[in-house]
Amino acid sequence: MSQLRIAEIFGPTVQGEGALIGEPTVFVRTGGCDYRCSWCDSLHAVDSEFRHTWASMTTQDVWAKVQRLSRNTPLTVSLSGGNPAIQDFTDLIALGHASGYRFACETQGSIAKPWFGNLDTLVLSPKPPSSGETVDWAAFDKCLDAAKDAAQIVIKIVIFDDADYAWARASADRYPHLPLYLQPGNLEVDPEVAVDPQILADKLLWLVDKTMADSWFAPRILPQLHILLWGNKRGV
């Protein structure tokens, strides 16, 4: 079985964003990422400075912890990061499916893996200009091809400003057949600093007003539920 580099495993809690918002979930957060977004809220799972805090775990050890946290009751397991596509989750997904668990993965779409096709939900989240990263659309298309047998593929884009919004519209036009989710970004990423719910609400209203004014009715617009509930605390 595969050896996995894990930043944290936590839950059950609810999924805070995207297509599965509100769904009871255990999170398996991997260590390591090929991106370094300017507003990253998970640096503890991205920056090599934190490598010493990541655990090297066998697939069986990860599965045992998922079972323990969920009290052997099937639910959704979310593979996140960092970029979970760096690692091999083939065996973990097989173990979980055999026991009735469902698997979701969120990745930026920079690395394609064969196990994408085994997922119940693949969330592709290309990063807008405010991230400081540039999307490789050829790599993104390879991710879509790898996931062609997945039960569900969706796109989720975080939007911080007008430039991100314009980029999101152009990017979504590439994939009109895929469900699209938009959410306003949160610039306060320090876990020690309280998040102002009014600021979050104002950004959400800004995004709603903008899409409605443009008659852009394709996306679903959602808050970051986990930020509203827990701010930037880790492990929730």
pLDDT in tens, 85-126: 999 999 999 999 999 999 999 999 999 999 999 999 999 999
Q: Looking at 106-115, 164-173, 227-236, which range is the least confident one?
A: 227-236
Q: Cβ distance 15 to 25 under 8 Å?
A: yes
DSSP at 177: T
pLDDT averaged over the chain?
A: 93
- The arithmetic mean of pLDDT across residues 10-17, rounded, is 93
Q: What is the mean pLDDT of residues 66-82?
A: 97
In the predicted structure, residue 191 carries a pLDDT above the cut 70 = no
Residues 6 or more apart whose Cβ sits within 8 Å of residue 131: 35, 37, 38, 39
Q: Which pLDDT value is given to residue 128?
A: 97
Mean pLDDT of 198-203: 88
Question: Could you give the CA distance from residue 64 to residue 168 in angstroms, rounded to a whole number?
Answer: 39
In the predicted model, what is the mean pLDDT of residues 184-193?
73
Kindly tell me the sign of the dihedral angle through the C-alpha atoms of 200, 40, 231, 32. Answer: positive
Distance between first and last Cα of the chain: 28
Q: What percent of the chain has pLDDT over 70?
A: 95
Q: What is the predicted pLDDT for the residue at 140?
A: 98
Count CB neighbours of 84 within 10 A.
25
CB count within 10 Å of CB 116 equals 25
Q: Would you say residue 1 has pLDDT above 70? A: no
State the pLDDT confidence band at 226, using cuts at 50, 70 and 90: confident
* Omega within 30 of 0 (cis) for the link into 82: yes
Lowest mean pLDDT among 55-59, 188-192, 228-232: 188-192
Residue whose C-alpha is closest to residue 228's, from 181, 202, 196, 204: 196
Q: Report how far apart, in Å, the C-alpha atoms of 180 and of each of 31, 174, 177, 183 are.
A: 27, 11, 9, 10
Domains in the chain, CATH or no CATH each: 3-230 (3.20.20.70)
Output the pLDDT for position 92: 98
Strand arrangement, sheet containing 121-124: 55-58, 3-14, 24-30, 76-80, 102-107, 121-124, 153-159, 180-184, 220-221
- Give φ, ψ of 202 to 5 degrees: -65, -40
| Rounded-to-integer distance, Cα 120 and Cα 124, Å | 13
pLDDT > 70? residue 68: yes
Q: pTM for the full model?
A: 0.92
Least confident of 36-40, 133-137, 167-171, 230-234: 230-234
The pLDDT, as a whole number, for residue 235 is 62
Nearest in space to 16 (alpha carbons), one of 161, 152, 129, 181: 181
pLDDT at site 111: 98
Please count the other Cβ atoms lying within 10 Å of the Cβ belonging to residue 137: 12
Phi and psi at 80, nearest 5°, equal -135, -170
